Amino acid sequence: MTPVGARPLVLVVEDEPALATLLRYNLEKEGFAVDEAADGGEALRRLAEQPPDLVLLDWMLPTLSGLEVCRQIRRKPETRSLPVIMLTARADAQDMVRGLNIGADDYVTKPFAMATLLARVRALLRRAGPAPAKETLSFADIALDQETHRVSRGGRAVALGPTEYRLLEFFLRHPRRVFSREEILDSLWGATIHVEPRTIDVHIRRLRKALNGEGEADFVRTVRAAGYALDTEEP
Ligand code: CA
């Protein structure tokens, strides 16, 4: 999400290179920062790596349709309220209803006038309000600064690998909630990338090792047959 004063970031998901270029050119001219993805799978990866302020999402895409991408955006807590405008060549009202039902905020039919699209982008961003500032997430004596990516425990700096960082960030956003390995995988990598669920155990182990100093409590709770949670004590 965008820090105050920075340009809002728009993720353009479009498999036609000419249209993607045209969109980028016009959005940048309007003062937006632009990120691009040429297919559905790439869109989910870009969303996880660099969360935008708004998504322009083509309906017909290789690997994963725009509808499926939108469905996944709405399923994840981190992107649930992310503004999405669907772009489509289908002028069918039935399709429009389907797109909006799946959670798109707005819907633009190709071919469209660039001025119209830009007006819809601005309107939707206004409606969505300013993006929440990056904050420090904390639990007990653990703190994670989303701005600087620094993690500490009881004031002591904790060095984490990128995956362990995202894992901890995910737990800190939903403290005390139990997540299955599949849910954690889905949230960290997206459903399109196949990662063995047991991989999570390896990252959990690394996270614990980095977080827990001598004699310190282990807040990463293993819930037998269910998964993991960030919690203060065994039930
Ligand atoms: Ca397309």
Instruction: Say whether pLDDT at 1 is over 80.
Output: no
Instruction: Say whether pLDDT at 217 is over 80.
Output: yes
Lowest mean pLDDT among 19-23, 87-91, 142-146: 87-91
**Boundary (domain end) residue, out of 112, 128, 144:** 128
**C-alpha 38 – ligand 1 centre gap (Å):** 9
Same domain, 160 and 91: no
Instruction: Say whether pLDDT at 117 is over 90.
Output: yes
Same domain, 123 and 140: no
**Boundary (domain end) residue, out of 67, 96, 128:** 128
Same domain, 184 and 213: yes
**C-alpha 58 – ligand 1 centre gap (Å):** 6
Same domain, 116 and 28: yes
Same domain, 121 and 172: no
4 lies in a domain?
no
Give the pLDDT of residue 197. 79
- Average confidence (pLDDT) over 180-199: 76
**C-alpha 225 – ligand 1 centre gap (Å):** 42
Question: Could you tell me if 90 and 18 are in contact, meaning their C-beta atoms sit under 8 angstroms apart?
Answer: no
Count of domains observed in the chain: 2
Instruction: Say whether pLDDT at 6 is over 90.
Output: no
Same domain, 119 and 30: yes
235 lies in a domain?
no
Q: How far apart are CA 163 and CA 186, in angstroms?
A: 13
Same domain, 121 and 166: no
152 lies in a domain?
yes
**C-alpha 114 – ligand 1 centre gap (Å):** 17
**C-alpha 161 – ligand 1 centre gap (Å):** 36
Owning domain of residue 112: 9-128
Same domain, 42 and 143: no
**C-alpha 65 – ligand 1 centre gap (Å):** 9
**Boundary (domain end) residue, out of 102, 128, 154:** 128
Give the pLDDT of residue 3. 46
Number of CB atoms found within 10 A of residue 158's CB: 20
**C-alpha 111 – ligand 1 centre gap (Å):** 12
**CATH code for the domain in which residue 214 is found:** 1.10.10.10
Give the pLDDT of residue 66. 93
71 lies in a domain?
yes
Number of CB atoms found within 10 A of residue 9's CB: 19
Give the pLDDT of residue 100. 75
pLDDT band at 79 (very low <50, low <70, confident <90, very high): confident
**C-alpha 133 – ligand 1 centre gap (Å):** 33
Same domain, 20 and 118: yes
Q: What percent of the chain has pLDDT over 70?
A: 89
1 lies in a domain?
no
- If one compares 176 and 20, the residue with the highest pLDDT of the two is 20
Give the pLDDT of residue 196. 80
Instruction: Say whether pLDDT at 233 is over 50.
Output: yes
**C-alpha 88 – ligand 1 centre gap (Å):** 8
**C-alpha 23 – ligand 1 centre gap (Å):** 13
Express each pLDDT in 26-62 by its tens digit.
Answer: 999 999 999 999 999 999 999 998 889 999 999 999 9
**C-alpha 59 – ligand 1 centre gap (Å):** 6
CA count, 13 A, side-chain hemisphere, 93: 0
Q: How wide is the angle at C-alpha 92 spanned by C-alphas 91 and 93, nearest 5°?
A: 115
**C-alpha 11 – ligand 1 centre gap (Å):** 15
Place of tokens 């904050």: 135
Same domain, 115 and 142: no
**C-alpha 105 – ligand 1 centre gap (Å):** 19
**CATH code for the domain in which residue 63 is found:** 3.40.50.2300
- Average confidence (pLDDT) over 174-180: 89
Number of CB atoms found within 10 A of residue 12's CB: 26
Same domain, 118 and 76: yes
CA 206 to chain centre: 23
**C-alpha 107 – ligand 1 centre gap (Å):** 14
Q: Helix-strand-coil percent breakdown of the chain, rounded to 5?
A: 40, 20, 40
Instruction: Say whether pLDDT at 119 is over 80.
Output: yes
- Average confidence (pLDDT) over 83-96: 79
114 lies in a domain?
yes
Instruction: Say whether pLDDT at 4 is over 60.
Output: no
Please return the burial class of 99, using the count of CB atoms within 10 Å of its CB with bins 0-12, 13-18 and 19+: buried
Instruction: Say whether pLDDT at 73 is over 80.
Output: yes
Ordered DSSP codes for 170-223: HHHHSTT--B-HHHHHHHHH-TTS---TTHHHHHHHHHHHHH--TT----EEEE
- If one compares 86 and 81, the residue with the highest pLDDT of the two is 86
Averaged pLDDT of the chain: 87
How many residues belong to the chain?
235
Same domain, 23 and 86: yes
